[in-house]
Amino acid sequence: GSTLSETLNSCSNSTESLNVSNVVNETKRPKIHKKKKKKKLTKLSLPDEIKNEPSLKKYWVQRYKLFSKFDDGVRLDKESWYSVTPEKIAEHIAERCRCDIIVDAFCGSGGNSIQFAFTCERVIAIDIDPVKLENARHNAAIYGVEDRIEFICGSFFDLAPTLKADVIFLSPPWGGPEYIHCDTYSIAAMGEFGEKAFQLARNISDNVAFFLPKNSNVDELVRLAGQGKHVELEQNMLNNKISTLTAYYGDELIDWGGNNQFTDATNDDTRRLDDTGYAADFELQDSLAEHSSFSLDVADER
């Protein structure tokens, strides 16, 4: 099979294509009339942050992928339009993270927290930005789950030592949509949102899910697990394309059931190391599935 880096590289240049269909009317007059009417309606319904920022229009077209209940009044600020986790992916991650208490350390406008509320007994949703937190609360109410979420406005870096939870979910800022233009997204370059956030999370629970760009540096993610420990890397698909990467750490989060798991007991003969120095003998699972996942063993120090 292909290596993870090959897979990631082959995907790093893909552009998200939007499926906009235009209705063409045969007769001339109604056509003009209809077109005008449609334009007006679209303009009227655009929220201010989209009207003022043409680059956000591509996210607007995908609004129901972000929130299926978008029309019930979902609120997003400018930054959230490109940083919210699309609902299908958030739903999938929430299923993987099913537990009693989960911390959503960087909850933003609630894309993940809302889905966690369906699979976890209690969600602690943290964000430093009061506007986003208020939007998250409002959006959670639309989904009828605000009572299951405790919203805390503050910095995860300050709050982390006070938290107790079974699972920590990390979706820190990636530095804006520009990340996609790098060949490889470096965890080190995330500054405190990378290793520091991860280690703080790990002090709360061994079970950490880290939501990252699809072109993230796999070597760094494997090393985060620590010597002899495991990470499962999962490519999340949207529109039939790999869109993001979720790294699962901790015995309770890692899916040990697949055929492509490596453990310390894995026979060295069956473990193939590629030239970047980590075990990369994995298979992508059925790519027809909404989500593909694979795992690899942690590198020994090399």
Residues that bind ligand SAM (CB under 6 A): 80, 83-85, 106-112, 126-129, 132, 155-157, 171-173
Q: How far is the CB of 104 from ligand SAM (least distance, A)?
A: 7
The residue among 116 and 249 lying less far from ligand SAM, judged by its C-beta, is: 116
Lookup: tokens for 252: 């309770």
The residue among 151 and 249 lying less far from ligand SAM, judged by its C-beta, is: 151
Q: How far is the CB of 71 from ligand SAM (least distance, A)?
A: 18
Walk across the sheet containing 101-104 and list its strands: 149-153, 122-127, 101-104, 167-170, 208-213, 241-249, 231-238, 291-296
Residue showing the smallest CB distance to ligand SAM in the complex = 111
End-to-end CA distance of the chain: 24
Percent helix, strand, coil in the chain, to 5, is 40, 15, 40
How far apart (Å, rounded) are the C-alpha atoms in residues 42 and 33? Answer: 14
How far apart (Å, rounded) are the C-alpha atoms in residues 139 and 217? Answer: 33
How far apart (Å, rounded) are the C-alpha atoms in residues 291 and 235? Answer: 6
Q: How far is the CB of 113 from ligand SAM (least distance, A)?
A: 7
The residue among 179 and 262 lying less far from ligand SAM, judged by its C-beta, is: 179
The residue among 204 and 279 lying less far from ligand SAM, judged by its C-beta, is: 204
Identify the CA nearest to 197 among candidates 230, 155, 228, 238.
155
The residue among 5 and 112 lying less far from ligand SAM, judged by its C-beta, is: 112
Q: How far is the CB of 17 from ligand SAM (least distance, A)?
A: 22
Q: How far is the CB of 120 from ligand SAM (least distance, A)?
A: 15
